[in-house]
Structure 1
């Protein structure tokens, strides 16, 4: 497990710090509700970098809120209010406390990343057979549910079969998670495509209310949890240009950075030019999807 070196979460009056992940800090309010704050931190290769990306937390929060609004007729979400303490205004939401399902609910409409690696080895992804001859960036005949285990912070999630989800949460909840994941992905993929963006794959997290209702939680359909590609530059068989942190990954693995990914040492600080290009990608994705200026 990598030493993530996550900075201490800032103190917020009236809120008790509960947990910090790679990007988000979670607090409990006096009401018992949760305050979820998106920081400007960025992670790559299981490290939280020392360098932050200005405005990233606000962009992710705004984008998630926009998507929750687009999907409210499909699934309930965890947002209670955007009336948050002034110190975190614009980058935080008040949300419900839920019993979270211990599963990363991943939908793939295109083949790339860990799905491509599995396919190249076995012709399947998470136990789902796929047609022969697919390449990096191929559009799948239909979207597939490819769940993953939730790893500890700093460890890799591991792709698993649907049967493994059934064993973890039960048959009925597993079917509900699969159906919701694919329904939400299909709606989002259509909306994104209309706006010039391919939603190649994405990761959802769901929780359960005391009455058993399944609720969409955490962030949703952001460049941190999804692969966004420009429609007009999609060429299967080659790595796709993207609207996410590939700029950061590319620089870190280039000779210019001087960093050895296998060394176990933390990556170096990002140059200002890489920071600005990364911020610009996030802003561009937000503006294309929402039609709003940032």
Structure 2
């Protein structure tokens, strides 16, 4: 059986002003728009772990579903979709604060509220959590846990609303706006996910400002990469047993890596091929469950070839 094609890199020399992120490749166009290509790279612990077949297209098309379902809540950056892996968006000045909304005491990273809670912290992100909470317990109300947005690949750091304002990262008006948008987006995400048998446990949002200073939702929204989804009917039993509910998120690979090394310091072990394929299946299943739509897999050739053809009108 031939290996499935993956998009591990999206360098297109005919396109201008390239910026390579952990997962996405970006090209700034002279007209003020940006080409954003989602590769199949999977990132966690501030590192690239592997490439997952079809992941980039799944993320782009899942975000497309959510951008369309939340367009009435706040403006987003989308202009068009010339290819399943590609979105043309308005170029924004990204705000230096990443907005994470959490509905449950969960997570595995150093900035997650569960990690901090297990370490004995009770005051975090400007709020105080009570003693006696259990892993994956539902919070009384969704909690915004902002972190610094490190553009140079450094570690994101937890922030409180007071620190955000004192450090001048956002104005009071900007903070109020992104908070209002984030909570409304999260509520919509939880409601639509519940209808499809899913729990949206937590997610991250990135916002930027356009040329007129308006705050606009950027990047992605409610995808398996940016969010923690649980299978709803697995939650009660898992919570009672102190286990993690069945999920679609990056913890599928994160957990495997975390068991074998310190992912922030040690070399990352090679991810087994069967785990890569299982993860690909998880992303495809997540798309079907989140959107209620089927996903057409393109296994014919190198994805970069079809991306280049779709973006030919934008070549310099």
* Category of TM-score, reference length = shorter chain: 0.7 to 0.9
For 1:263 and 1:132, locate their aligned partners in 2 and report how far apart those are by CA, in whole Å: 29
Pairs within 5 Å for 1:130-209: 130-167=129-166, 168-209=169-210
Are 2:250 and 1:245 equivalent residues in the alignment? yes
Mapped pair 1:118 → 2:112: no
Report how far residue 279 of structure 1 moved: 0.7
Contact 1:34 1:97 (8 Å CA) reproduced: yes
Task: Please state if 1:35 is matched with 2:19.
Answer: no
Query: Residues 59 and 277 from structure 1, CA distance in 2 versus in 1: closer, same or farther, beyond 3 angstroms?
Result: same
CA RMSD of aligned residues (A): 1.9
**1-structure distance, mates of 2:131, 2:256:** 33
Q: CA deviation at 1:266?
A: 3.3
| TM-score (structure 2 length as normaliser) | 0.82
- 1:108 matched to 2:102: yes
For residues 240-290 of structure 1, what are the alpha-carbon distances to aligned partners after superposition, in whole Å with 9 as ceiling and x for unaligned? 321022232233244xxxx53369453233222101110111111111111
Offset at residue 56 of structure 1 (A): 0.4
Aligned-pair CA distance for 1:238: 2.4
Find the aligned partners of 1:197 and 1:290 in 2 and give their Cα distance: 11
TM-score in terms of structure 1 length: 0.88
Q: What are the superposed Cα offsets for residues 113-140 of structure 1, whole Å, 9 maximum, x if unpaired?
A: 2212333423233121233321111111
Q: Where does the alignment leave 5 or more consecutive residues of structure 2 unmatched?
A: 1-7, 296-316
Q: Evaluate the alpha carbon distance shift between residue 264 and residue 117 of structure 1 in structure 2; reply closer, same or farther with a 3 A threshold.
A: closer
> Separation in 1 of the partners of 2:88 and 2:76?
12
Q: Distance in 2 between matches of 1:132 and 1:122?
A: 10
Q: How many pairs are equivalent?
A: 277
Tell me, in whole angstroms, the C-alpha distance in 1 between the residues paired with 2:145 and 2:263.
Answer: 28
Shift of 1:153: 4.8
Structure 1 residue runs of 5 or longer lacking an equivalent are: 1-6, 84-88
> Of the candidates 97, 115, 118, which is equivalent to residue 91 of structure 2?
97
Asked if the contact 1:247–1:277 (Cα under 8 Å) also holds between the matched residues in 2, the reply is: no
In 1, Cα distance between equivalents of 2:9 and 2:121: 43
Distance in 1, matches of 2:54 and 2:263, equals 30
